[in-house]
Amino acid sequence: MKRQLTLAALLALVAGSATAAGIDDPLTNIKSVAVTVDIYDNAKRAIPTLSEEELKNAAEFQLRNAKLRATCGGANCDGILTLSLDTLDEDDHSYVFVATVKFQSLVIYQIRATDAPKTVIATLWSRQFYGKLGKGIIRATVVDDFDKLVKEFLNDYYAANGR
């Protein structure tokens, strides 16, 4: 599904004031979301027992519980929810990590009414957790952080759709 926006609406979204400007929330009327997971090489070495499939299954489970279709392909999806994880080996005892969840969708925009519409993939929602953790506890903390981030997305989805 493509969403149509004017440049003013796109700028309002970027500025975070879409609803204040009278523009519909970008999470309105979403019915289907594809889930992708990117665990970067540093994070794979830091948490070898954590799989992309595990995080994807957990996110899809939450989406299905929210009555969103979590398996869709191509043009049948209203957007993509991407979970990504990266780490940096801080010292012998700890890692710095960043866990990101973002929702992207196709957006149609026009700068002027006389211009031809253009379509782009836009990030309409994004949140991150980051911190420094001991090597023995990083896996459980990261899984919990992704769970919280997906719940934040769903809370914003509920707010946009009157639930």
Asked whether the whole model's pTM tops 0.75, one would answer: yes
Cα 163 to Cα 9, 28, 92, 155: the distances in Å are 24, 11, 46, 9
In this prediction, residues 97-107 reach a mean pLDDT of 93
DSSP code for 40: -
HSE, CB side, 13 Å, CA atoms: give it for residue 84: 12
Q: What would the CATH number be for the domain defined by 3-160?
A: 3.30.160
With bands split at pLDDT 50, 70 and 90, how would you rate the model's confidence at 17? very low
HEC assignment per residue over 92-159 = CCEEEEEEEEEEEEEEEEECCCCCCCEEEEEEEEEEEEEEEEECCCHHHHHHHHHHHHHHHHHHHHHH
pLDDT tens profile 48-89? 889 999 999 999 999 999 999 887 766 678 999 999 999 887
- 89 by DSSP, 3-state: which? strand
